[in-house]
Amino acid sequence: MTIRPHHKPHMAIIQGIAALVLATSIATVPLASQQPTKPDSAQFAQMQSMMGPMMEQMMTAGMTATLRVLARPESAQQLATFVKNFYDALVTKGFSKEDALRIVAAVGMPHASPGR
């Protein structure tokens, strides 16, 4: 079961830094006769090689922070409260106990999707 807490601020920082690196990389590419050009494969590879290590460090830092939060006893208590409340709400709404358990198991823990 994957637990992914809400990380909108981390994603915004990652996207902002990636945009800055990309903009800086593109701005330093010399223009041929003032005509807009598309980066060739070598330029694209260079941009990727510059951003790759930075993105890896940021993802590692984010995962480390997530694991620290999940390791706290109060985090487990909060997640257990959510699961119990969700199950109870389903039963209250008329689902059988078996169906409510299946739904809770299928939905899993709350997490933020990258696009949200």
Distance CA 78, CA 84 (A): 10
Cβ contact 91:100 at 8 Å: yes
pLDDT at 13: 58
Residue 73: pLDDT band by 50, 70, 90 thresholds? very high
For range 13-21, the mean pLDDT = 59
User: Does 51 share its domain with 86?
Assistant: no
pLDDT at 51: 87
Distance CA 9, CA 19 (A): 15
Residue 26: pLDDT band by 50, 70, 90 thresholds? low
Distance CA 13, CA 81 (A): 30
pLDDT at 114: 56
User: Does 59 share its domain with 19?
Assistant: yes
- Say what the pTM is: 0.47
User: Does 49 share its domain with 61?
Assistant: yes
User: Does 55 share its domain with 93?
Assistant: no
Q: Is residue 114 part of a domain?
A: no
Measured CA distances, 93 to 57, 79, 88 (Å): 45, 21, 9
When divided into structural domains, the chain yields a total of: 2
- Residue 78: domain span: 73-106
User: Does 20 share its domain with 45?
Assistant: yes
pLDDT at 5: 47
Distance CA 82, CA 108 (A): 10
